[in-house]
A and B are shown apart, each in its own frame.
Chain A
Amino acid sequence: MEDQVTQFGLTEGLVITLVGVGLVFFTLTLLFLLFISFTYLVPIVMEKINKPKQIVIKKDDEEMLINATKVSGEVNAAIAAAVYHYMAEAHDEESTILTIQKVKKAYSPWSSKIYSVHGSQLNR
């Protein structure tokens, strides 16, 4: 295989270089152009996709809606209270509990506290 390729020299190398650099630029430029257009296109397309559809109430749904109205007053009150709390008191109070996590370390005389407490005294 290599014997065949050896016949080609600098000229072919130059050709490959020029075409190669061109192609690399071409590929990444294409990606660049695509994504530049995406920055404009995606929001428009997404808006169209996410457009609120007209709600058509089917018969099953209708029954469900009727069932839904039968929820007891207590449940409604609980939901309303929860929503009220969520809307009004969201992040008003932060938890003040601090948790200090203990880090487990293997004992080593090099990091032993006792050595730093006594310091040079132990060396004597």
Chain B
Amino acid sequence: MNTKRLFIVFGAIATIMISWAAASAAGLSNQTIGEVTQAAVATGAPQDFNALAMNGLMNFMSMTGFANLTLPNFVMICVGLLFIFLAIKFDYEPLLLIPIGAGVIIGNIPFVAGNQIGIYEEGSVLSYLYFGVEKGIYPPLIFLGIGAMTDFTSLIANPKLMLLGAAAQVGVFLTFIGAISLGFDLSEAAAIGIIGGADGPTAIFLSSKSAPHLLGAIAIAAYSYMALVPVIQPPIMRLMTTPEERKIRMKPPRTVTKTEKILFPLVGLILTTFISPSALPLLGMLFFGNLLKESGHTERLANTARTSMIDIITILLGVTVGASTQASVFITTDSLKIFALGAVAFAIATFSGLAFAKMMNLFLKGDNKINPLIGAAGVSAVPDSARVVQQEGLKADSNNHLLMHAMAPNVAGVIGSAVAAGILISFLSYFQQVGGM
């Protein structure tokens, strides 16, 4: 089943890429029907009624999407349709892929530039909606909702699992190096590396700050790989663990008092943002959202944050990120490299999480041992990777439920990737200063 899915997904991507490459190699004329008709309209001077009507019609024709269609637009519309297909047929993150897919189609409907239509045209409606992405406004709001949704109980009960969330961030930094060696500069590489954190909002936040021109590709890559968690992670998990290890049962987490639950966001907020203030918008909102949830007195606010508000932001973010992939900006070799690096980033993050979990087991004894599978949940795709861990655990032992345990590294991964983003931002600004001197 999984191999079939993998085949469909990558087969479709490959087909699109090959057709795109073939078409551009064939040297198709870049002039669209629209340009031809427009040129014809410009030369003919309107005189009588018939000529006027004819010219008006020609002008209208030149404005239609059919007249202005270019191959890249067509390819991107197919990509949008593919996303919607994947979301509906295979249930891959439908809440994200459907808005993004629709956005990709919206962003690639061909039009005559200069009428304030496109997302990159100043003053257009889409550009105002895109403002939230461009300036990094949406991601912190999403984090507020995530905070109000997330239950940190399992993490508080077993704080050592926090380290697994840190281990998975190794993927971010290794990809960062990989991107540099592929020819990206530091700020671009940082934005690409964060895909390994498997955290869409963080990736958008960082790339809007450091590499706005790559934002579309990075966001699409981050969200597609998040959707592909159930495909990418299991083979690595099976490769890295023995059947005995997968059967390890973890002792149930202790009960956590309300005081601890309230203290966690407060302590977490103060501590992490003191260390990495650049991640303040993300971490501040995350812990604030969680405080709303746990305080017990702001249920209304928490409820809005985790339902209506995050939904609204998801819709806006999805559509505008999708629309930002306007073919003229998006179809480049850089995008291809980003997609490749993103997959590597994701694999390394999973790999390092698993490896670190195995290493932790060397020091733990008896029933304190952890099931190394939960290391894979250190990537912050909440709650998908935790769900994958649960499924893999059940495959090894049908009575071993790992979901609760896997949620701990999963939410730690969210904190970890936001901290990593903050660290990258501060380093980039340092190198900018040094470069400026």
Q: Which one, A7, A24, A32, contacts B159 given CB within 8 A? A: A32
A43 to B275, alpha carbons, bound, how many Å? 28
Are A29 and B163 in contact, CB atoms less than 8 angstroms apart?
yes
Q: Choose one: A13, A26, A31; the contact of B177 (CB below 8 Å).
A: A13
Expressed in whole angstroms, the Cα–Cα distance for A10 and B173 within the complex equals: 12
Give the shortest distance, in Å, between B279 (CB) and chain A (any CB). 10
Docked pose: A17 CA to B175 CA in angstroms: 10
Contact residues of A with B, CB < 8 Å? 1-2, 4-10, 12-14, 16-17, 19-21, 23-32, 34-36, 38-39, 42-43, 46
Residues of A within 8 A of B357 (CB): none
By beta carbon, the residue of chain B nearest A7 is B435
9 contacts between A and B (CB under 8 A): A9-B180, A13-B176, A19-B423, A25-B166, A28-B416, A32-B163, A35-B156, A35-B264, A43-B257
168-202 of chain B: CB within 8 A of chain A: 169-170, 172-174, 176-177, 180-181, 185-190
A35 and B155 CA atoms in complex are apart in Å by: 9
Structural contact, B416 and A24, CB atoms closer than 8 A: yes
- For chain B, the count of residues having a C-beta within 8 Å of the partner chain is 48
Contact present for A2 and B187 (CB under 8 Å): yes
Interface residues of B in 399-437 (CB under 8 A from A): 412, 415-416, 419-420, 423-424, 427-428, 431-432, 435-436
Residues of B within 8 A of A23 (CB): 275-276, 419, 423
Q: How many A-B residue pairs have CB under 8 A?
A: 129
Residues on B with beta carbons closer than 8 Å to the beta carbon of A35: 156, 159, 162, 260, 264, 267
The answer to whether A24 and B259 have CB atoms under 8 Å apart is no
Main secondary structure of the interface of B (DSSP, over half): helix
Chain A interface, DSSP helix/strand/loop, else mixed? helix
Residue of A nearest to B432 (CB): A4
Q: How far is the CA of A7 from the CA of B186 in the complex (A)?
A: 9
A12 CA / B156 CA spacing, docked (Å): 36
User: B230 at the A/B interface (Cβ < 8 Å)?
Assistant: no
Inside 8 A of A43's CB, which chain B residues have their CB? 257
Contact B263 A38 (CB under 8 A): yes
Inter-chain CA distance A20–B428, complex, in Å, is 12
Q: For chain B residues 256-287, which have a beta carbon within 8 Å of chain A?
A: 257, 259-260, 263-264, 267-268, 271-272, 275-276
A31 with B187: CB separation less than 8 A: no
A62 vs B264: C-alpha distance when bound (angstroms)? 42
Q: Are B162 and A32 in contact (CB under 8 A)?
A: yes
A17 touches which one: B165, B173, B263, B436 (CB < 8 A)?
B173
Q: Select which of B173, B268, B276 is within 8 A of A31 by beta carbon.
A: B268
- Rounded to whole Å, the gap between the CB of B282 and the closest CB of chain A is 13
The verdict on A10 contacting B427 (CB below 8 Å), with A2-B185, A31-B162 known, is no
Q: Which of B264, B276, B423, B428 has most chain A Cβ within 10 Å? A: B423
Q: B420 contacts A16, CB within 8 Å?
A: no
